[in-house]
Chains A and B, each alone.
Chain A
């Protein structure tokens, strides 16, 4: 086997060099960004090599075995002779090594190089799209967007003069003008503070409120009393106390006679207004109002009420929407593009979801996913359109399903067995500018609105487990390229989410049986090598080396045809047997393997 291994290795190295050479000599390199040609060509060479690899190995293995089996072949006078058994052992070990290498190449290297190539091909398209957009916005004097797109273009191609020009000019203008984003506006919402009262009871909150009232800090007194009212029920013994203290504090806040220091009159009035907005539940407006107060003067910024309630307002805002600034420059980090799936509900209705791009961001141990171009279309059981939701960017968090009450669970189709579900914030606001809000766009079918209350919230929950969402993102690579473990998990759910079970299952069959097919081919090659071995007395002639490429081509063709036949048979098996196809397919291949093995060990010298 030593001789065979050397032949296989030398031939593989030689073939690799030839593949690289062919790739360098081939002229049809697609349009690429400057400086990427060389790596693309090398990548292409690698891919050539990987595609031919099984036939390269089989042909050199065949030749190697045919040479080495010639020695002492006459000793194999009977079936299962010691010589043949020894050959079989060595051949089997070599075959297993070949199977491992070939499987690794098909499952790891080919997808890796193909992905690299497609990324390289995509870059110029992306670059020209970024440039067109930045040129457009530059001409329209929308410098913030011109800056954003030219920045993204420069990340792809840092030496592009035009991109540098737009980026520099847009940055300079932005600095001087401090222009803000120009975006569409507003939804309405009601928010109940949940987080702020966590771990608190009505008694503890009332105690805090009373302490603040003693110090005549009426903001805190009202705030804690108000929270106490929110937390407690009417039957609570402290409920009345909390209610009374809240109204007493409110009266103090809005009684003009209480104001003692006239210097702070303006600040107090503004604080009061902002606080009123916060208590009303309009957290976003309250956030902007406190932000404006803090911007008036250093004294205002340092005011403990202002800083405290600004922080509270910001926390509340972050629970119901996200800042536009978070999604700036996110596109280049997108892990998935064009993700689409259907979410079926128990009543037969369906939500069809389409997301243009997904960027996962790790934030204090939690993964946040930003979804670009989130579109959801809902269809009735009969397949009629009911409503659609569109938002340019949505922020997605994995939330515990138990967090939702029965009504929400029923509405979004969250089942009890789900652990975590994708929770989507649909609204985004600018950090420092109240006009920079982006709200979801809802469209409803007229008939649907007549019968149902339209849903206009600024959040949405997808009615599927979070792990399935991640699986669907993986499935976008396609049944051939997606991770094999993900494919196994995804198989039973394909129909549910709008994918073809037959396509995914037959590709799964091919991928799972491929190593066994390679193993059968190796043993079959060994059989052929024994049949057409070199005679004991014969010396290997140099000119026979030129046979190897011819055998490689013949085997490449035979292998491609064989694999195609396997694909057709897999389809037939999947359509006829469904999930049982894998057992039948593996059983048949194992049987063929056993037959081929017996065929080999029963060879004799005749």
Chain B
């Protein structure tokens, strides 16, 4: 009982801390998108923070689920209680927290304002693809005086220095940031943007499914089932570190398979199967439900089989000692 309570506290505390961390990061990055070097900016805004909380709840739920498995691998005692608590919180996440959060996102979505401003500051060199801009004066109507240093042509035969008079200030090249300097310095590597785009795609799919009704949501939530059953993978190897690696790889794999499905990046044959299954059952996304159930059964199978095997070999070792 003590362990169950401890688990619940850990789960809720991590949920709270994780959400706050992600929401803060979201708020900071939105404000950075609006930041123009040399101009004042505030890094705190309640609107972005709340949006950040809403957007990060599903991510935090998934991460905590995986972290809980890693915790159980580290502290393997009381497997049954651990499993029960894990399952309870997993179901709570996928049937209560995430759907409720998606509804809130849908309700406040229109309030999410664009994170970008059309402005520039004077006295700073801004390096763009073909040259450098330097504004000396910005008028109230947004037009500016300054210089453009054309840096194309290494020998400087082609490039010239062009004085600018009353030209409109544009910062499209800085998109999604407001200042090209911030973009050049802060543009995230692909390794950061790609997982974010995967998450974004899954979140959009989740929102869509949730808007279609409970059954449709359950179809999407099959990903949650597959992720929950990753629990079984922790018995794969006799070395804890290997199990940790397997759990992470499996979870990432499940998310990625679902992403491929929802982005329709599938071989033609699977697309055809998906269509036929949908026509046959009259349900939404039956293929991914099937795939997720197969993965879940596989994980459960591995869990039961390897769990018993590990238990036996553990007992055998103990009796030897």
Contacts and interface: CB of A to CB of B under 8 A. Distances in A.
User: Which of B134, B145, B165: most chain A Cβ within 10 A?
Assistant: B134
B156 A125 contact: no
B136 interface: yes
A500 B181 contact: yes
Interface residues of A, number: 68
B43 A572 contact: yes
A506 to B, nearest CB: 7
Chain B's interface size range is 35 or more
B191 interface: yes
B192 A561 contact: yes
B191 A534 contact: no
User: Which of A338, A534, A560: most chain B Cβ within 10 A?
Assistant: A338
Contact of B134 (A130, A337, A495, A498): A498
B96 interface: no
B122 interface: yes
Contacts, number: 155
A66 B186 contact: no
A575 B155 contact: no
Nearest to B134: A352
Contacts of A375: 161
Interface stretch (A409-417, A432-440, A562-570): A562-570
B142 to A, nearest CB: 15
A179 to B, nearest CB: 21
A390 B159 CA distance: 14
B242 A547 contact: yes
Interface string A365-379: 000000011010101
Given A502-B37, A560-B191, A550 B186 contact: no
A216 interface: no
A162 to B, nearest CB: 18
Interface string A513-542: 000000000000000110111100110010
Contacts of A356: 155-156, 159
A560 to B, nearest CB: 4
B129 interface: no
Contact of B137 (A373, A383, A533, A560): A383
Contact of A557 (B137, B147, B191, B317): B191
B238 interface: yes
Contact of A342 (B134, B165, B245): B134
Contacts of A390: 161
A504 to B, nearest CB: 9
Given A63-B241, A551-B245, A499 B154 contact: no
A544 B124 contact: no
Contacts of A377: 147, 161, 163
Given A373-B156, A568-B25, A532 B74 contact: yes
Given A338-B151, A340-B149, A550-B245, A556 B185 contact: no
Given A498-B134, A538-B239, A547-B245, A125 B188 contact: no
A199 to B, nearest CB: 43
Contacts of B181: 500, 503
A379 B181 CA distance: 23
Contact of B37 (A337, A352, A479, A503): A503
B106 to A, nearest CB: 27
A507 interface: yes
Given A125-B154, A377-B161, A383 B122 contact: yes
Nearest to A62: B241
A575 B41 contact: yes
Contacts of B157: 129, 133
A40 to B, nearest CB: 18
B182 interface: yes
B153 interface: yes
A379 B136 contact: yes
Nearest to B238: A538
Contacts of A126: 154-155
B310 interface: no
Given A340-B125, A384-B137, A500 B43 contact: no
Interface in B177-216: 181-182, 184-186, 188-189, 191-192, 195
A503 B28 contact: no
B234 to A, nearest CB: 11
Contacts of B85: none
B154 A337 contact: yes
Interface of B: 25, 28-29, 31-32, 35, 37-38, 41, 43, 73-74, 122-125, 132, 134-137, 145-147, 149, 151, 153-157, 159, 161, 163, 165, 181-182, 184-186, 188-189, 191-192, 195, 237-245, 248-249, 317
20 contacts: A63-B241, A126-B155, A129-B157, A337-B154, A340-B125, A342-B125, A342-B134, A357-B156, A375-B161, A384-B145, A385-B163, A499-B125, A538-B239, A544-B237, A550-B245, A554-B245, A560-B191, A561-B191, A568-B29, A568-B32
